[in-house]
Amino acid sequence: MILWFGKKKKKKKLEDAGAAMDAPELSADELAAREAVAHEEADTATEAVDHAQEDEVARQQEAAAAEQRRLEEEHEAERRAEAAREAEEAERQREAAAKAQEEALRPQDTDTAEDSRPAGTDDAPGTADAADPYQETKSPGFLKKLSGGLSKSSSKLGSSLTGVFNKRKLDDEALEDLEDLLITSDLGAKVAGKVTASLAKSRFDKDVTDAEIKAALAEEIEKIMTPREKVVDFSDGPRPRIVLFVGVNGSGKTTTIGKIASKLKDQGAKALLVAGDTFRAAAIEQLTVWGERAGIPVMSRPTGADAASLVYEAVERARAENLDLVLVDTAGRLQNKAELMSELAKIVRVTRKLDPDAPHDVILVLDATVGQNALSQVEAFRHTAEVSGIVMTKLDGTAKGGVLVAVAEAHDLPIHFIGVGEKAEDLQPFSARAYAHALVGIEEEETA
């Protein structure tokens, strides 16, 4: 080896010497030209090094700027969430005050007790009238339950409309009155403006009746909500399909999972429920009860365990056991709590390690009773967890059902289900037409 290297070196020396002897004598100009070329090459090399250094500095500056931007965004999100929390608190206080006032003013009537009962309790399948035509054409008691559930919202909107527009000319003043009324019914200013503008187009300066206004209103609401209508079959699609349920505290995540699990059992899907709310022992217990009822296994860890690693293990198990889907419950988190929101982002990241397309669905569960605050919840959760669809619960317990129209108008997210009670059958697929009619308080007969 050394010998071989020695020979090669010697051979090169001889070649160099020969080349030098062969080279013609160079003139002073030629030498100068060569020197200039050599300088130029050296300069180019130095420039390349300089550029590389400049590039590196620019890269570092860009990374620092990106980090700064990220921190600012985080700060901004926290600030927005804080403002939302304050708005939520104010809204709750307003609601409590309005309720107290309403109670104080209301005479003792028989409707009161009925109103405060969640719909569904008096309307469970099996107890409904078998002669009801909807039972034959649609799912049992569907429209009945929906209009019952939305009765608080529709009575608010409906009674405000009653008598206001009868044989009244739809002039500027009447349109303004209508717009105000819609805004106070939680439909939001944008929807109220849209609806009145559309009404003005077709009926301006014509005599209108309450019934006409109601019908036109239902039509406009249906138009806004139809693009959001998308019933989902979780047992279909990728396998295992990983579905994450997110939302603020008490919005109805665990109950919604329980209701869906019950439906899945009927469909014969092989599912796994995951108690990703590892903060509270009661949350694990609550999901376990639903799982047992539906005959679906529930995976959990002791309180305080890392939710993300539980979800990771659950996905691994679902793959090993060839399950159809994994329904993941998560802890309730207010949209302004950055720490909890980042824990949610971690669950999403960890799940993606096993399947880059997972979670396949991120369902935001919204509680209708929060009213307009639902809008800021959608924004915050979309930002953190790429929400893919919405479920709105507690439409039976509030007069704020109109907020779902505002959500549908503001966000291009499908609305999969609505909750109108606490029982399994109280989770219903969202139908824009049925919802619009129930919200406005149009009789069932008119929806047929």
Ligand X SMILES: Nc1nc2c(ncn2[C@@H]2O[C@H](COP(=O)(O)OP(=O)(O)OP(=O)(O)O)[C@@H](O)[C@H]2O)c(=O)[nH]1
359 binds, among ligand X, Mg ion, none (CB under 5 to 8 A by kind): none
- Candidate ranges 74-82, 131-139, 280-288, 300-308; the one touching Mg ion (CB under 5 A): 280-288
Q: Which of residues 252-271 bind ligand X (CB under 6 A)?
A: 252-255
Classify 392 in phi/psi space as left (phi over 0), alpha (psi -120 to 50) or beta: beta
DSSP string, 122-176: T--TTTS-TT-HHHHHSSTTHHHHHHHHTHHHHHHHHHHHTTTSTTEE--HHHHH
The Cα 199–Cα 208 span in angstroms is: 11
CB of 170 to ligand X, least distance (A): 36
Q: Contact with Mg ion (CB under 5 A): which of 147, 153, 254, 384? A: 254
User: Of the two residues 196 and 431, which places its CB atom closer to ligand X in the complex?
Assistant: 431
Q: Please list, in sequence order, all residues whose beta carbon lies within 8 angstroms of the beta carbon of residue 70, skipping any fewer than 6 positions away.
A: none
Check residue 196 for interaction with Mg ion (CB under 5 A): no
Check residue 422 for interaction with ligand X (CB under 6 A): yes
Q: Are 250 and 332 in contact (CB under 8 A)?
A: yes
DSSP string, 375-429: HHHHHHHHHHH---EEEEE-TTS-S-TTHHHHHHHH----EEEEE-SSSGGGEEE
What string marks each residue from 42 to 81 as x (binds ligand X by CB under 6 A) or -? Answer: ----------------------------------------
Residue with structure tokens 């019914």? 185
Give the count of residues interacting with ligand X (CB under 6 A). Answer: 22
Instruction: Give Rg (Cα) of the chain.
Output: 33
Q: Contact with ligand X (CB under 6 A): which of 277, 324, 343, 409? A: 277
Show the DSSP H helices in 226-298 as ranges. 253-267, 281-294
DSSP bridge partners of 274: 299, 328
336 binds, among ligand X, Mg ion, none (CB under 5 to 8 A by kind): none
Residue with smallest beta-carbon separation from ligand X: 332
Q: Contact with ligand X (CB under 6 A): which of 77, 81, 88, 118? A: 118
267 binds, among ligand X, Mg ion, none (CB under 5 to 8 A by kind): none
What string marks each residue from 219 to 248 as x (binds ligand X by CB under 6 A) or -? Answer: ----------------------------x-
Helix (H, G, I), strand (E, B) or coil at 298: strand
Interface residue list for ligand X (CB under 6 A): 118, 247, 249-255, 277, 283, 332, 365, 393-394, 396-397, 419-422, 426
Interface residue list for Mg ion (CB under 5 A): 253-254, 283
